[in-house]
């Protein structure tokens, strides 16, 4: 349970840092820069303290990074532009959990007990209540269904990426060569950063962002580095640690609370008070997580 809770906290903080840095220097530049910083930090960890590159897990982790970090994030970005953050996060996180659970069950026979499924359902119900768009909210009709499809693609990228990482740990354990979370995150980001770089170049050519004002980049670096630490480096390392030690069907519903937790952190940092429905959904989701924790600790 600890890696799932750490991932949730770190990714929530990462979202706040990403928003700050994106407003300062532009979303594409901030995103690609944080991935570069994370790759360097994870590389230092992996080659000094971890297992470096290679081993039976590496092909699976590269595939995980390509699908999850690469194409999953591209679908996420495309969905955000069309249907906004609330519906995109709702689709991504609430669909990724059942996708991961079903694929892991079919592929590995990684089944869950009915109590685990019930707790996961309670968690996802809380997330749905907290994130569901308001009735009557305006959506761009022409791009709505395209945005929904990209949101589903984002969920599939996250779900299949998680299952591939789980497969990597299984293959490594078979020969007694376990992979630590930091090394797994490093090998994943190497594939993801290639896709991110290509996307960055395309976005610069298609829709160039105005250059940041003089003196902005030095101030933005604090948020970029914080984003890199909380998101693709330590945050993803904790996520990979969770996949190595937990069933994906247990991990993913807990991580699905990230967008809800982000809204409460934004309240503390930026003063953006969450709505009553967000608070209610958060209470329900936390209740599900607490019940799951009690059940897991009792085994």
Listed by start position, the domains of the chain span: 2-297
Q: How many CB atoms lie within 10 A of CB 266?
A: 17
Q: Report the alpha-carbon distance of residue 209 to residue 194 in Å, rounded.
A: 21
Task: Kindly report the length of the chain.
Answer: 299
What parts of the chain have a pLDDT lower than 70?
Answer: 27, 134-142, 207-212, 297-299
Task: For the chain, state the CA radius of gyration.
Answer: 19
The pLDDT of residue 84: 74
Q: How many CA atoms lie within 13 A of 236 on its CB side?
A: 30
Residue whose C-alpha is closest to residue 81's, from 171, 153, 146: 146
Tokens 């600890």 — which residue? 2
CA dihedral angle for residue 268, residue 273, residue 274, residue 275, rounded to 10 degrees: 160
With contact defined as beta carbons under 8 Å apart, do 231 and 83 qualify?
Answer: no
The pLDDT of residue 108: 81
Question: pTM of the predicted model, to two decimals?
Answer: 0.86
The pLDDT of residue 139: 57
CA dihedral angle for residue 87, residue 147, residue 265, residue 282, rounded to 10 degrees: 20
pLDDT in tens, 115-171: 888 988 999 998 888 887 765 555 555 677 788 888 888 899 889 999 999 989 988
The pLDDT of residue 225: 92
Q: Report the alpha-carbon distance of residue 288 to residue 261 in Å, rounded.
A: 14
Q: Report the alpha-carbon distance of residue 132 to residue 141 in Å, rounded.
A: 18
Q: Report the alpha-carbon distance of residue 278 to residue 109 in Å, rounded.
A: 35
Q: Report the alpha-carbon distance of residue 176 to residue 81 in Å, rounded.
A: 45
Q: Report the alpha-carbon distance of residue 76 to residue 55 in Å, rounded.
A: 31
The pLDDT of residue 211: 66
Residue whose C-alpha is closest to residue 186's, from 34, 9, 41, 30: 41
SS3 state at 244:
helix
């Amino acid at each position: 349970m600890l890696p799932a809770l750490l991932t949730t906290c770190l990714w929530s903080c990462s979202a706040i840092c990403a928003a700050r840095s994106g407003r300062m220097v532009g979303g594409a530049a901030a995103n690609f820069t944080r991935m570069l910083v994370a790759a360097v930090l994870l590389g230092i960890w992996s080659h000094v303290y971890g297992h470096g590159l290679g081993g039976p897990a590496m092909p699976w982790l590269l595939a995980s990074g390509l699908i999850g970090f690469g194409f999953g994030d591209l679908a996420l970005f495309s969905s955000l532009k069309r249907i906004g953050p609330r519906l995109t996060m709702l689709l991504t996180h609430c669909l990724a959990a059942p996708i991961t659970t079903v694929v892991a069950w079919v592929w590995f026979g990684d089944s869950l007990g009915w109590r685990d499924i019930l707790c996961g359902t309670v968690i996802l119900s809380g997330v749905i209540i907290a994130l569901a768009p308001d009735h009557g909210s305006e959506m761009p009709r022409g791009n709505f269904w395209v945005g929904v499809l990209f949101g589903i693609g984002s969920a599939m990228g996250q779900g299949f990426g998680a299952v591939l990482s789980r497969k990597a740990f299984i293959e490594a354990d078979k020969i007694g060569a376990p992979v630590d979370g930091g090394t797994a995150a490093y090998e994943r980001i190497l594939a993801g950063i290639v896709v991110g770089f290509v996307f960055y170049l395309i976005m610069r050519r298609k829709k160039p962002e105005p250059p940041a004002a003089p003196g902005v980049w030095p101030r933005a670096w604090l948020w970029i580095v914080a984003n890199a630490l909380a998101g693709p480096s330590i945050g993803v390392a904790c996520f990979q640690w969770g996949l190595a030690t937990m069933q994906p069907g247990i991990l993913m519903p807990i991580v699905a609370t990230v967008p809800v937790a982000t809204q409460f952190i934004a309240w503390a940092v930026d003063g953006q008070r969450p709505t009553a429905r967000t608070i209610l959904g958060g209470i329900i989701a936390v209740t599900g997580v607490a019940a799951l924790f009690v059940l897991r600790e009792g085994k």
